[in-house]
């Protein structure tokens, strides 16, 4: 656990560091990378991960580039995202923006980004944001077609389970994941024995767990947000459900595991693109340490994906890409070895084709990588 420091102090420190860094930068042309993410409202947890990942990438590039970056809250409405993009583009010429992971916000920003010609660098796994033929969107997190394929394949191929009960959230994240899960299971010849959507405001998970168990499943497949995932896992542990749980990417977030006792996590696995707290390479360990010391919290895969995405943009800029068009070309045509994986566009802006399954051993809140799926074919 990192030393505890109140977030406001952390914010001040961050600002001071940023100022110091900006001072020390070489006198090359200033690069503008606004960060447009939800840092208030119900997606503040994920949005803050995005923000931190982007800010850290900018800080790490300080020896090579002078970067101007403003964090603008998008809230959770499409309107807020479009307004934020207008604001960012009106105050300079952004080379690229770190864009919200909320699918509906991305969909709202896409037409404007195309009109202005600004690359959007996001970790949104949801929605058909890369299927609209828009050349300005770049997704540094495996889309649902990748993660849900891995999710289903792990359940069927590795665990050998064929009677999954699927519990998803009635949000954009949940519904998109559920649709892709259903397709992925169908390809494997498996039909879920139970499917139900849960409102994120629901507190007691016993009813849905009871109904799911009544369908006699052999595995519980979750696609819920952070808090509800923890509620469900805890309820399942208390009821001694006795079958494995394979959860969605929210489970891998350290803040989710922090809500549970390690024993409650025994036998729980989760789909994600990466698990920075699990380590794996010196670079990832350095990233995790830097992230902890900068933001006083543990990084998740969204932070890492956003870090990699912005790092790729900055790498291109340092190598001479001077316009948004240059950045778009580099992002869409070159390969970049990031910390989580190697990124290369599939032609639609999907940069990440790998997914990871992590599992908890019941003794610690740090999961271990159980299976890695490389270059997963989309549907």
Partner 1 sequence: MPEALTRGLNPLLILAALALAAYALFGAGPYGLRVLTVAGVYAIAVIGYQAIFGQAGALSLAQGTFFGIGAYVTGILGSTSGFGFAVTFPLSILAPTLLALLIAVPVLRLESHYFALATLGIGQVVLLAAVEWQSLTGGANGIAGVPGIDLFGWRVGRGLPLALFVWTLVALGALLAWLLGHGRRGAAFPIMRETPVAARTLGIDIDRLRLEAFAVSAAYGGAAGALTAHTQRVVSPEVLEFPVMVTILTVAVIGGQGRIAGAVVGAVLLIHLPEWFRGLENGYLILYGAALLATIVAAPWGIVGSLERLRARLIPERPPAAPAASAPPARPTSKPSLPASSAPVLYVDGFGKRFGGVQAVSDVSLRLDRGRILGVIGPNGSGKTTLINLITGLEKADAGKLYVSDADITGEPPHRRALAGIARSFQTAALPSDSTVLEAVTAARIAIDSDIATARSHAMHFIVQAGIADLVHTRCGALPPGPRRAVELARALARQPLAMLLDEPAAGLTEDEQASLARRLRAAADDGIAIMIVEHNMPFLLPLADRILCLDEGRAIAEGTPGSIRRDPAVIAAYLG
Partner 2 sequence: MILAQLMVNGIALGAAYALVALGFVLVLNATGAVNFAQGDLVMAGGFLAVALAGFIPDAPGFVLLPLVMALMALLGIAVSATAYLPLRNRPPVGVFISTIAVGIILQNGATVLFGPEPKAAAPLFGGGAFTIAGLQVPTQSIAVIATAALLIAGQYWLFTHTQLGRRLRATAQDPGMARACGIPVTSMIALTFALGAALAGAAGLLLSNQFFVTPSAGSGLILKAYIAVTIGGWGSLPGAVIGALLIAAFEVVVSYTLSYTAATAALYLALLAILAVRPQGLFGEASRRRA
* CB of 81 vs partner 2, minimal distance in Å: 18
Q: Does residue 15 interact with partner 2 by CB under 8 A?
A: no
Retrieve residue 342's tokens.
Answer: 């190697």
* Helices of type H across 25-95: 44-60, 78-90
* CB of 375 vs partner 2, minimal distance in Å: 33
Q: Does residue 175 interact with partner 2 by CB under 8 A?
A: no
Q: How far from 71 is each of 50, 55, 74, 79, CA to CA, in Å?
A: 11, 9, 9, 17
Dist CA 192 CA 212 (whole Å): 11
The footprint of partner 2 on residues 215-244 (CB under 8 A) is 226-227, 230-231, 238-239
Q: Which residues pair with 369 in a beta bridge?
A: 358
Enumerate binding residues for partner 1 (CB under 8 A).
Answer: 11, 39-40, 44, 48, 51, 70-73, 76-79, 82-84, 86-87, 89-91, 103-104, 107-108, 110-112, 115, 126-128, 132, 170-176, 197
Strands 245-247 and 219-223, sheet pairing: parallel
* Helices of type H across the chain: 7-24, 44-60, 78-90, 103-116, 144-153, 172-187, 206-214, 226-238, 254-257, 282-295, 301-318, 324-333
Give the count of residues interacting with partner 2 (CB under 8 A): 38
Q: Is the Cβ of residue 44 or residue 188 nearer to partner 2 in the bound state?
A: 44
Of 40, 281, 364, 379, the residue at the interface with partner 2 (CB under 8 A) is: 40
Assess contact for 352 and 139: CB atoms under 8 A: yes
* CB of 129 vs partner 1, minimal distance in Å: 9
Assess contact for 126 and 141: CB atoms under 8 A: no
* CB of 282 vs partner 2, minimal distance in Å: 27
Stretch that binds partner 2, among 37-45, 134-142, 283-291, 322-330 (CB under 8 A): 37-45
Q: Does residue 45 interact with partner 2 by CB under 8 A?
A: yes
Smallest Cα–Cα separation from 361: which of 270, 267, 277, 276?
267
Q: Is the Cβ of residue 12 or residue 363 nearer to partner 1 in the bound state?
A: 12
Q: Is the Cβ of residue 105 or residue 356 nearer to partner 1 in the bound state?
A: 105
Q: Which residues bind partner 2 (CB under 8 A)?
A: 4, 6-8, 11, 39-42, 44-45, 47-48, 170, 196-199, 201-204, 206-208, 210-211, 226-227, 230-231, 238-239, 255-256, 258-259, 297
């Amino acid at each position: 656990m990192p030393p505890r420091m109140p977030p406001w102090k952390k914010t001040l420190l961050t600002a001071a560091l940023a100022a110091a860094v900006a001072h020390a930068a070489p006198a090359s042309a200033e690069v503008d990378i606004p960060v447009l993410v939800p840092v208030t409202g119900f997606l503040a947890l994920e949005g803050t991960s995005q923000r931190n990942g982007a800010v850290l990438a900018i800080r790490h590039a300080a020896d090579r580039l002078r970067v101007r970056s403003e964090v603008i809250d998008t809230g959770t409405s499409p309107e807020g995202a479009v307004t934020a993009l207008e604001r960012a583009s009106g105050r300079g010429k952004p080379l690229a923006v770190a864009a919200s992971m909320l699918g509906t916000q991305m969909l709202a920003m896409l037409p404007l980004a195309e009109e202005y010609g600004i690359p959007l660098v996001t970790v949104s796994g949801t929605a058909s944001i890369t299927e609209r033929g828009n050349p300005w969107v770049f997704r540094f997190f495996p889309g649902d077609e990748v993660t849900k394929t891995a999710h289903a394949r792990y359940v069927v191929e590795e665990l050998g389970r064929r009677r999954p009960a699927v519990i998803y959230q009635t949000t954009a994240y949940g519904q998109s994941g559920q649709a892709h899960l259903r397709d992925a299971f169908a390809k494997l010849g498996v039909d879920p024995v139970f499917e139900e959507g849960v409102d994120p405001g629901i507190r007691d998970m016993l009813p849905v767990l009871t109904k799911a168990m009544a369908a006699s499943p052999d595995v519980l497949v979750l696609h819920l947000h952070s808090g509800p995932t923890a509620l469900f896992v805890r309820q399942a542990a208390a009821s001694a459900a006795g079958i494995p749980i394979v959860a969605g990417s929210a489970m891998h977030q350290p803040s989710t595991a922090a809500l549970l006792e390690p024993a409650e996590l025994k036998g729980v696995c989760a789909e994600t693109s990466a698990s920075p707290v699990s380590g794996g390479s010196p670079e990832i360990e350095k990233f995790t340490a830097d992230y902890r010391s900068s933001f006083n919290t543990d990084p998740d895969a969204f932070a890492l994906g956003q870090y990699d995405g912005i790092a790729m943009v900055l790498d291109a800029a340092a190598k001479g890409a001077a316009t948004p068009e240059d950045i778009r070309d580099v992002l869409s045509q070159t390969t970049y070895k990031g910390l989580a994986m190697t990124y290369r566009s599939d032609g639609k802006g999907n940069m990440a084709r790998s997914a990871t399954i992590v599992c908890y051993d019941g003794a610690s809140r740090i999961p271990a990588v159980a299976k890695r799926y490389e270059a997963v074919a989309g549907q």
